[in-house]
């Protein structure tokens, strides 16, 4: 057996050229070493390892799960104008920090900041690489060593074990818990505000809802109290709905947005700073956005950590293009809102073509995902492919190029076309026919 082992170079040449030469050589060397130890087939071992490497590489997938902001699939898909903007800026040099009017150094996010001011009604804006960074930077710059009251019902944990109390501790801010899990009255905040208080923080629990015997103070109430007591009021609204009225949606805001705070409305309510994400309900690239009073934004911008969490020019270009859509009155064209607002008739026609002879079209729920709009269910047509063989079909679709991510439930396979780009329908139908044929 040993004398028949291939050379490292020969085995590496058999592996997919899409992998870097360095990786192919390493795979081949490890496979041959293992074959010497236990007699395994080095070709089989190398092929298995090369597939594993290929699956781990960042790549496009088709999302047929019906989860609009699927965290594991990158959350919000970008509009084609945002994709072009990222390509143009990333494919060459750009005016990242150059004023083209006079050739002097400029603000790398000046255009985005100005757009955010127009869209939210705030005095100023700052963009960092994610919402947690925006909150961290705000607390570190403005509240370090001082107290910040937060309702016990808003001490959130989100994906990746991110916990608000731990983030606050890392900034040197002193958390003061107020109220109870289900009830926090305005008086609870008032009782704890003293000379050591820097700001009151209200956090929108975007990945869970409480109902029943529940009380919370409104943004307006906390803003009035904060002004009266001479402290700042920060609001982390998380999901990044620009305007609760959703004027970009035909027919206005859908019912399922009624409990979601809009950034513009929270600014109007009197919050000094509002923090939110760029890649959730805004529908742009991953970013953290802070809008509010210019004097506070200036202090945050000057903090040493601000540079550590700034965005690349490509992210800013994609965010600018996304905000352009809202500023033009075309927010409905942001893919998230196009998917959410798709009509029953259009979705059913697409689902029928994909189901063909292999499944049926039923009514089922799409969900928001991404730690956004918990409990939301948008009912629409979904392709159901009955078992047996569901697990094998699910695996085969994952192995497709590009991978197709579906749902499994109670022995059946489900494909929700709401989250599939219409241009991918033909590919999806062909893949379904292959795995079911």
The CATH classification of domain 80-333, taken from the options 3.40.50.150, 3.40.640.10, 3.30.1490.20, 3.40.630.10: 3.40.640.10
pTM: 0.92
Exposure string for 178-190, b = 16+ CB within 10 A, e = fewer: bbeeeebbbebbb
* SS3 label, residue 190: helix
Residue 160: predicted pLDDT:
67
Residue 350: predicted pLDDT:
95
Taking the C-alpha atoms of residue 77 and residue 320, their distance in angstroms, rounded to an integer, is 15
The CA-based diameter of the chain, rounded to the nearest angstrom, is 85
Exposure string for 354-385, b = 16+ CB within 10 A, e = fewer: bbeebbebeebebbbbbbbbeebebebbbbbb
Residue 2: predicted pLDDT:
54
Taking the C-alpha atoms of residue 320 and residue 112, their distance in angstroms, rounded to an integer, is 5
Q: What is the mean pLDDT of each run of 10 residues along the chain (437 residues)?
A: 81 95 97 93 95 93 94 93 96 89 88 97 97 97 98 86 91 97 96 98 86 91 98 96 94 88 98 97 97 98 95 96 97 95 94 89 86 81 92 94 93 95 94 90
Joined tokens for residue 407: 């749902």
DSSP-assigned states of every residue in 253-308 = S-GGGTTSPPHHHHHHHT-SEEEEESSSTT-SSS-EEEEE-HHHHHHHHTSGGGGG
Residue 237: predicted pLDDT:
96
Taking the C-alpha atoms of residue 202 and residue 152, their distance in angstroms, rounded to an integer, is 10
Topology at the third CATH level for domain 62-74+337-436: 3.90.1150
* SS3 label, residue 43: helix
Model confidence over 307-316: pLDDT tens digits?
Answer: 999 999 999 9
Residue 4: predicted pLDDT:
81
Taking the C-alpha atoms of residue 289 and residue 127, their distance in angstroms, rounded to an integer, is 5
> Domains of the chain: which residue ranges?
9-56, 62-74+337-436, 80-333
Model confidence over 163-214: pLDDT tens digits?
Answer: 999 999 999 999 999 999 999 999 999 999 999 999 999 999 877 777 788 8
């Amino acid at each position: 057996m040993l004398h028949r082992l291939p050379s490292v170079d020969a085995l590496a040449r058999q592996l997919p050229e899409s992998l870097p030469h360095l990786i192919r050589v390493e795979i081949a060397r490890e496979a041959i070493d293992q074959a010497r130890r236990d007699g395994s087939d080095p070709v089989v071992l190398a092929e298995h390892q090369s597939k594993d490497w290929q699956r781990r590489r960042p790549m496009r997938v088709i999302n047929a799960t019906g989860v609009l902001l699927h965290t594991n699939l990158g959350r919000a898909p970008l509009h084609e104008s945002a994709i072009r903007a990222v390509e143009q800026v990333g494919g060459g040099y750009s005016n990242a920090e150059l004023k083209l009017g006079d050739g002097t150094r400029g603000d790398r996010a000046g255009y985005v900041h100005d757009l955010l001011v127009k869209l939210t009604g705030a005095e100023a804006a700052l963009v960092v690489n994610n919402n947690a960074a925006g909150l961290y930077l705000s607390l570190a710059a403005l509240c370090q060593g001082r107290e910040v009251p937060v309702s016990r019902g808003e001490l959130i944990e989100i994906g990746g074990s991110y916990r608000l109390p731990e983030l606050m501790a890392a900034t040197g801010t002193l958390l003061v818990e107020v109220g109870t899990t289900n009830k926090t009255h305005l008086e609870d905040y008032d009782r704890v505000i003293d000379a050591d208080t820097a700001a009151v923080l209200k956090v929108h629990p975007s990945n869970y809802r409480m109902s029943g015997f529940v009380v919370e103070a409104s943004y307006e109430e906390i803003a009035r109290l904060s002004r009266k007591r001479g402290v700042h009021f920060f609001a982390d609204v998380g999901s990044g709905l620009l305007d609760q009225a959703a004027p970009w949606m035909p027919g206005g805001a859908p019912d399922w947005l009624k409990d979601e705070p809009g950034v513009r409305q929270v600014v109007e309510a009197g919050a000094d700073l509002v923090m939110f994400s760029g890649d959730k309900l805004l529908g742009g690239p991953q970013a953290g956005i802070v809008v509010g009073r210019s004097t506070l934004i200036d202090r945050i911008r000057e903090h040493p950590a601000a540079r550590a969490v700034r965005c690349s020019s490509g992210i800013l270009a994609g965010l600018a293009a996304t905000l352009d859509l809202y500023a033009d009155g075309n927010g409905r064209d942001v893919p998230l809102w196009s998917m959410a607002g798709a009509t029953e008739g259009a979705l059913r026609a697409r689902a029928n073509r994909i189901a063909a002879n292999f499944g049926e079209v039923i009514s089922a729920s799409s969900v928001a995902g991404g730690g956004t709009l918990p409990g939301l269910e948008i009912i629409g047509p979904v392709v159901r492919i009955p078992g047996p063989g569901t697990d094998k079909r699910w695996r085969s679709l994952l192995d497709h190029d590009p991978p197709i991510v579906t749902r499994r439930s109670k022995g059946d396979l489900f494909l929700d076309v709401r989250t599939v780009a219409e241009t991918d329908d033909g590919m999806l139908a062909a893949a379904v026919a292959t795995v079911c044929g």
